[in-house]
């Protein structure tokens, strides 16, 4: 569970989706508004839609490549969009040093945007400022509860999303 650990700026937005397409649309909208240097941390159980969210996010950045979860490579890089996109999946990481050895800090503090699936597994090394996206299943089969929370600074566009 990602906890508030930096400063007091935090805004929360809760949205429900009823399909994969709607989950991707939320990702797409965030991708359209995101700026360089922002980290997006995704959490949620297996099968909740983290990778679908990431696909929509990439579309919002203008990326047309096929987006896959980098479960075995840890990070996939995409450079065709308006901002370089670094997609991490840390599900299979056994030690935080593994992440640091692939240049995690260069990605997070670099010139692109970073999205991390299973971000709660590397909480001690997350940056001070990020957007947390928690995706949860509900009692309805296709419905998802998506909680957007900003940490460290305000991301005003989160409040404007529908």
- pLDDT tens for residues 126-151? 999 999 999 999 999 899 999 999 88
Residue 21 and residue 56: Cα distance in Å, rounded?
Answer: 9
127 is written with which tokens?
């940056």
CATH fold group of domain 12-160: Rossmann fold (3.40.50)
Residue in the structure block whose two tokens are 């450079």: 79
Residue in the structure block whose two tokens are 């990020």: 130
Assess whether pLDDT exceeds 70 at residue 109.
Answer: yes
Q: Give the model's confidence band at 162: pLDDT under 50 very low, under 70 low, under 90 confident, else very high.
A: low
Q: What is the pLDDT of residue 154?
A: 77
Taking only the tens place, the pLDDT of each residue in 35-57 is: 999 999 999 999 899 999 999 99
Residue closest to 159 by CA, chosen among 28, 40, 13: 13
Residue closest to 121 by CA, chosen among 34, 24, 50: 50
> Strand, coil or helix: what is 96?
helix
Burial of 114 (0-12, 13-18, 19+ CB in 10 A): buried
**Bridge-based pairing state of the strands 130-137 and 75-78:** unpaired
Residue closest to 104 by CA, chosen among 67, 75, 78, 77: 75
Residue closest to 96 by CA, chosen among 76, 69, 114, 118: 118
Question: How many residues are recorded in the chain?
Answer: 162
Instruction: Give the start-to-end residue ranges of the domains of the chain.
Output: 12-160
Residue in the structure block whose two tokens are 């709607």: 22
């Amino acid at each position: 569970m990602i906890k508030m650990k930096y400063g007091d700026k935090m805004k929360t937005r809760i949205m429900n989706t009823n399909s994969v397409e709607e989950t991707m649309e939320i990702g797409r909208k965030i991708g359209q508004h995101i700026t360089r240097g922002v980290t997006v941390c995704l959490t949620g159980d297996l099968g909740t839609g983290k990778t679908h969210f990431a696909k929509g996010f990439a579309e919002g950045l203008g990326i047309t490549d096929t987006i896959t979860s980098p479960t075995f490579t840890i990070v996939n890089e995409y450079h065709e969009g308006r901002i370089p996109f670094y997609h991490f999946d840390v599900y299979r990481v056994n030690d935080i040093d593994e992440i640091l050895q692939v240049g995690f800090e260069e990605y997070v503090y670099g010139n692109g945007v970073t999205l991390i699936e299973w971000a709660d597994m590397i909480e001690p090394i997350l940056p001070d400022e990020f957007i947390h996206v928690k995706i949860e299943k509900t009692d309805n089969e296709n419905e998802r509860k998506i909680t957007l929370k900003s940490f460290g600074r305000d991301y005003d566009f989160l409040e404007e999303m529908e």
